[in-house]
Amino acid sequence: MKYSKATNYALHTMLYLCSVSSDKPVGVQQLAQKQGVSPSYLSKILTKLVKAELIESSSGANGGYRLKGRKEDISFLDIIHAVEGSASLFECCGSEDSRCVIQQVMLAAEEAMERHLENTKMIELVDTSSCD
């Protein structure tokens, strides 16, 4: 059980886009170079963020990606759900059987984590960002 590297790339990219905060889109090559990933792969991840309407893309020359919503509203959870999916981390008996006590405990624990991720917005980190 681990968060995928894709999530890491997505979070760092979003943090960077929030800190730039420009109207001009940023090319995927530039974003990829900063993190030492191949542009093709990063583009695949960013597509998920586009579908989640966190960012938007513009094609053609001088194209790239740029924030869609206000960066005050973007939480960690938004990004993680966009990349990892929003399914529950734990599934007990195949179906979503809510009678299982174990399932209930796990769900409550997961919600504790998600609350924390939802309350932390991207903008809070913009100034203090290291480890680009």
Closest CA to 13 of 25, 1, 58: 25
Q: Which of 60, 89, 96, 123 binds its own copies (CB under 8 A)?
A: 89
**24 lines the binding site for DNA (CB under 7 A):** no
Cα distances from 37 to residues 116, 120, 128, in angstroms, run 28, 26, 23
Q: How far apart are CA 77 and CA 7, in angstroms?
A: 11
**46 binds DNA, rule: CB under 7 A:** yes
Q: Would you count residue 33 as binding its own copies (CB under 8 A)?
A: no
Tokens 């796990």, residue? 106
Q: Does 97 sit near its own copies (CB under 8 A)?
A: yes
Can you give the binding site for its own copies, defined by CB under 8 A? Answer: 1-4, 7-8, 11-12, 15, 76, 84, 87, 89-93, 97, 99-103, 105-106, 108-110, 112-117, 120, 125, 128-131
